[in-house]
């Protein structure tokens, strides 16, 4: 099935194919590790995860490279305020990032590239830019990109840069829209700052040159797809294009994907508005990692997502439906044979699901046929019109749904446990929802023991004890279900 994805560069929904006929080479801008990731960052990483999982589900090979910006203005400022080296300072946030993406079931890219480990490559690129007159050195020893040397500047963000001032410079990594200026490639060392002694002087790279150098190092001069949050389109991606294409005279990436940022309760997320959430904030409030994943991917990447707690509750309920249904099929016994109505429903659901994702990754439209299939199947099971072959067919659709959405298997205990341990280590115990402590107080083994004791008590007609155990478990967030196949329990 052809896969189409909106391309910021062409302004069209273009076919996405591996240009070398083998594997799709993609680069995604990774985190700047100066703080914990917030849900806006994770929406971007999750949508890129949806893309890579769908490409793989479609049989495509993927070579995905992601950078880690472990040197930049903020890291330098914060680390010196904390009296730490930039390596010491960023280490905890690098670790936190990998923990967080694991919690959200975001697959690790094939290649992770840390900026501080690729300095020679960046220096080399600055030298090449200097050789062709596209870079110049200032009196303080910094290097700048000469915007006038790249007439195509602005082609990605479609900015009108006619008012641009020739030779005006900006030395910060991030800057306001409409202030397109010569930007820093290399910043001369300031006293006390981490720096590298190189052929172009003593200093450290600017943010933009990192991505140009590392993407081309691993993926070649031209690769298939470059992805990132919409806030990176200008100036970051525009600058990457200018730096790379000035040297190679080839397109840096054929396809550019930008994920829109989210709103929280209809407003821009900001610390001062009190609506700023990291992943950890939400886990400590008692929301499951799977629900956060589903809430952040269910709105297609090009649409603004309005993040609300009602939305998280809706995602929690949707996952409950998926898991209950999956359990019903996995553990139930069905008579041999098949119901043609279910067979057709399964085939259609699968086709609609794949078609929606192939159409610019429409995750909302992809979800709908799966829930329709669950309804149809549940009705058929209730009426005794569901057979072994139906079970196989419907489970296959669920598996293909979960290859991308990845929320059916319950792996929610671990992220919550980790978040609580982190809160305890960092003096944030007060932020842990009280019911989470209660839930964590029982291990799986302890629950099994209590459930067995309850079964024995019932057998001996000691109903008072049986009820007491049931209530104790409910209080600690464990639900017991008695069925004809025995007793099952699960955490709320
Ligand atoms: Zn980047």
Rounded distance from Cα 228 to ligand 1 centre (Å): 7
Find the 163 Cα to ligand 1 centroid distance in Å.
26
What distance in angstroms lies between residue 209's CA and the mean position of ligand 1's atoms? Answer: 8
Cβ contact 389:338 at 8 Å: yes
**Whole-angstrom distance, CA of residue 337 vs CA of residue 445:** 39
For 261, list phi and psi in degrees, rounded to 5: -80, 165
Taking the centre of ligand 1 as the mean of its atom positions, its distance from the CA of residue 247, in whole angstroms, is 18
CA of 323 to the centre of ligand 1 (A): 37
Closest Cα partner for 276 from 32, 40, 31? 40
Evaluate if residue 176 carries a pLDDT over 60: no
Distance (Å) from CA 18 to ligand 1 centroid: 21
Task: State in Å: Cα 115 to ligand 1 middle.
Answer: 10
Give the pLDDT score at 174. 62
Confidence tier at 177 by pLDDT (50, 70, 90): very low
Distance 215 CA to ligand 1 centre (A): 9
E strand map for 162-316:
169-170, 182-188, 196-198, 201-205, 223-229, 253-259, 262-264, 267-268, 305-307
Q: Is it the case that residue 193 has pLDDT exceeding 50?
A: yes
The average pLDDT across 284-309 equals 97
Using a cut of 0.85, tell me whether the model's pTM lies above it: yes
Q: Which residues pair with 253 in a beta bridge?
A: 223
Q: For the residues 414-428, what does the mean pLDDT come to?
A: 94
Helix 86-103 vs helix 413-425: angle between axes, to the nearest 10 degrees?
A: 150
Which stretch of 77-86, 311-320, 366-375, 438-447 has the lowest confidence by average pLDDT?
438-447
Query: Is the pLDDT assigned to residue 490 strictly greater than 80?
Result: yes
Average pLDDT over residues 416-428: 94
By the 8 A CB rule, do 243 and 145 touch? yes
Mean pLDDT (the chain) is 93
CA of 211 to the centre of ligand 1 (A): 5
Give distance in angstroms: CA of 239 to centre of ligand 1. 9
Q: Which residues surround ligand 1, an ion (CB under 5 A)?
A: 29, 211
pLDDT score of 178 more than 90:
no
Positions of E strands within 314-354 = none
Q: What is the pLDDT of residue 180?
A: 65
Cβ atoms < 10 Å from Cβ of 140 = 12
Calculate how far, in angstroms, residue 387's C-alpha sits from the geometric centre of ligand 1.
51
How many A from CA of 44 to the centre of ligand 1? 13
Give 29 Cα–ligand 1 centroid separation in angstroms.
4
Q: Please check the confidence at residue 170 and state whether its pLDDT lies above 50.
A: yes
Distance 428 CA to ligand 1 centre (A): 32
What is the DSSP pairing of strand 143-145 with strand 196-198?
Answer: unpaired
Give me ligand 1 centre to Cα 102, in Å: 22
Residues 233-261: tens digit of each pLDDT: 999 999 999 999 999 999 999 999 999 99
Distance 440 CA to ligand 1 centre (A): 39
What spacing in Å lies between the alpha carbon of 15 and ligand 1's midpoint? Answer: 23
* Centre of ligand 1 from the C-alpha of residue 66, in Å: 9
Question: Tens of pLDDT along 205-226?
Answer: 999 999 999 999 999 999 999 9
pLDDT of res. 162? 65
Q: Are the beta carbons of 265 and 17 closer than 8 angstroms?
A: no
Query: What distance in angstroms lies between residue 292's CA and the mean position of ligand 1's atoms?
Result: 25
For the stretch 120-138, pLDDT in tens is 999 999 999 999 999 999 9
Determine the distance separating the centroid of ligand 1 and the alpha carbon of 8, expressed in angstroms.
15
For residue 236, the CA-to-ligand 1 centroid distance in Å is 6
Give the DSSP per-residue string, 129-186: HHHTTSEEE-TTS-EEE-GGG-TTTTTTTT---TTPPTT-EE-SSS--TT---EEEEE
Q: Give distance in angstroms: CA of 273 to centre of ligand 1.
A: 28
Residue 254 CA, ligand 1 centroid: distance in Å: 16
Distance 28 CA to ligand 1 centre (A): 7
Dist. CA 213 → ligand 1 center (Å): 10
Compute, in angstroms, the gap from residue 188 CA to the centroid of ligand 1: 21
Q: Cα angle at 6 between 4 and 11, to 5 degrees?
A: 130
């Amino acid at each position: 099935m052809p896969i189409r994805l909106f391309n910021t560069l062409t302004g069209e929904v273009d076919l996405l194919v591996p240009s070398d006929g083998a594997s799709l080479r993609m680069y995604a801008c990774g985190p700047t590790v100066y703080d914990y990731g917030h849900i806006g960052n994770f929406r971007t990483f999750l949508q890129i995860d949806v893309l890579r999982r769908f490409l793989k589900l479609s049989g495509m090979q993927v070579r995905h490279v992601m950078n880690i910006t472990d040197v930049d203005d903020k890291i330098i400022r914060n680390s010196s305020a904390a009296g730490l080296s930039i390596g010491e300072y960023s280490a905890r946030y690098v670790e936190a990032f990998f923990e967080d993406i694991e919690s959200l079931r975001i697959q690790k890219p094939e290649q992770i590239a840390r900026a501080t480990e690729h300095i020679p490559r960046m220096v080399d690129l600055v030298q090449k830019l200097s050789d062709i007159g596209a870079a110049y050195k200032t009196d303080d020893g910094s290097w700048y990109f000469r915007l006038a040397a790249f007439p195509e500047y602005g082609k990605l963000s479609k900015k009108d840069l006619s008012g641009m001032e020739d030779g005006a410079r900006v030395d910060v990594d991030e800057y306001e829209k409409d202030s397109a200026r010569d930007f820093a490639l290399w910043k001369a060392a300031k006293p006390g700052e981490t720096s590298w002694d190189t052929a172009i002087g003593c200093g450290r790279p600017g943010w933009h040159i990192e991505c140009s150098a590392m993407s081309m190092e691993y993926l070649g001069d031209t690769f298939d797809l470059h992805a990132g949050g919409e806030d990176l389109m200008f100036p970051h991606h525009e600058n990457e294009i200018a730096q790379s294409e000035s040297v190679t005279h080839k397109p840096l990436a054929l396809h550019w994907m930008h994920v829109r940022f989210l709103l929280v309760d209809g407003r821009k997320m900001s610390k001062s508005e009190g609506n700023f959430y990291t992943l950890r904030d939400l886990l400590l409030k008692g929301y499951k990692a799977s629900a956060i994943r589903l809430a952040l991917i269910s709105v297609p990447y090009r649409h603004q997502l309005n993040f609300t707690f009602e939305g998280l509750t809706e995602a929690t309920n949707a996952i409950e439906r998926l898991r209950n249904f999956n359990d019903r099929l996995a553990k139930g016994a069905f008579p041999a044979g098949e119901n043609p109505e279910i067979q057709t429903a399964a085939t259609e659901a699968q086709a609609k699901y794949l078609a929606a994702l192939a159409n610019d990754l429409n995750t909302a439209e992809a979800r709908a046929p799966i829930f329709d299939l669950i309804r149809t199947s549940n009705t058929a099971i209730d009426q005794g019109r569901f057979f072994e072959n139906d079970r196989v067919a419907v489970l296959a659709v669920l598996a293909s749904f979960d290859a991308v959405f990845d929320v059916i298997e319950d792996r929610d205990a671990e992220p919550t446990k980790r978040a609580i341990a982190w809160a305890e280590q960092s003096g944030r115990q007060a932020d842990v929802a009280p019911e989470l402590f209660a839930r964590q107080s029982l291990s799986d083994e302890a629950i099994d023991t209590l459930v067995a004791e309850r079964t024995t008590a019932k057998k001996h007609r000691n109903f008072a004890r049986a009820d007491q155990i049931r209530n104790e478990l409910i209080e600690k967030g464990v639900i017991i279900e008695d069925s004809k196949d025995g007793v099952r329990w699960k955490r709320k």
